[in-house]
Amino acid sequence: MTSAGPPAPPALPEHLRRPAAVAVGLATLVFALLGARYAGQSGHGRLDGHAESLVDPLTSAHLWVLRRLSELGSPPLVVFAAFALCWLCLALGRRRLAVVAIVGPGLTGVATTLLKPAIGRTMEFGGFAYPSGHTGGATSIALVAALLLVSLVRPGRSTGIALIVTIALAVGGTIGTAMAATGAHYPTDTVGGFCVAVAFVLGTALLLETAAAWWHRLRS
């Protein structure tokens, strides 16, 4: 009888699964609250006004840079980055993460596309706004990259959480700020896009680990 070999590295280390589940729950709650608040509306709200006052100085000084940054969340670049990360995960023996690299950003893109007309928030000049697909796409790629880094470095619980949060906020915050500063989205739209990415990328990783544990128990 041949040996089955060592188990595949997890998509999400065991000590990070409970914090990830909490993050998924919080992201879902924030998304739902903002979606309910701005459903069917047009124009910015009070939260948007406060946030826009902070990013307005960037618009006149760095408009060209902001427009280039916002393009990093475009669907073609997100798809390319997802397949590149999938290939890298496979090359490094992270098969479960390779699945997350495709499924997580893919579900994020589908969700942000379908939720826009369902929620019905529009920009003043027309077009559905909530949630921001560019912010969601960029954040989903950042989360997969962060999970891969955690898988390779194998930090402790606190360091692992800090790495994932820092990378996700740095990328998602940068793209979200660019989208708001250039007038492509309201700030709360970008928060919604960020939350969608957190829910689907970390949720996919958690579901994979749950399925892997069930399969292991079944075989045992």
pLDDT per position as a tens digit, 136-176: 999 999 999 999 999 999 999 999 999 999 999 999 999 99
How high does pLDDT run on average in the chain?
88
What does the pLDDT look like over 173-216, one tens digit per residue? Answer: 999 988 888 888 889 999 999 999 999 999 999 999 998 878 77
**What confidence tier does 52 reach under pLDDT thresholds 50, 70, 90?**
low
**Cβ neighbours for 27, distance < 8 A, ≥ 6 positions apart:** 194, 195, 196, 198, 199, 202
DSSP code of 12? S
The count of C-alpha atoms lying within 13 angstroms of the C-alpha of 45, restricted to the half-sphere facing its C-beta, is 16
What pLDDT, on the 0 to 100 scale, is given for residue 5? Answer: 53
* Residues 44, 46, 51, 52, CA torsion sign: positive
The answer to whether 183 touches 94, Cβ cutoff 8 Å, is no
Q: pLDDT tens for residues 30-50?
A: 999 999 999 988 877 777 776
Choice between 83 and 127, residue whose per-residue pLDDT is larger: 83
The better pLDDT of the pair 186, 217 is held by 186
- The reported pLDDT for the residue numbered 3 is 47
Mean pLDDT of the 122-138 span: 90
Residue 77 burial class via C-beta count within 10 angstroms: exposed 0-12, middle 13-18, buried 19 and up: middle
Place of tokens 């075989």: 219
**Taking the model in full, what pTM does it have?**
0.91
Please tell me whether residue 42 adopts helix, strand or coil conformation: strand
Across residues 5-10, what is the average pLDDT?
A: 73
Between the alpha carbon of residue 9 and those of residues 40, 137, 189, the distances in Å are 44, 25, 35
Cα dist. 37→19, 179, 195, 218 in Å?
Answer: 27, 20, 15, 45
What share of the chain in percent tops pLDDT 70?
89
Q: Predicted confidence band at 61 (pLDDT cuts at 50, 70, 90)?
A: low
Residue at token pair 């989208």: 179
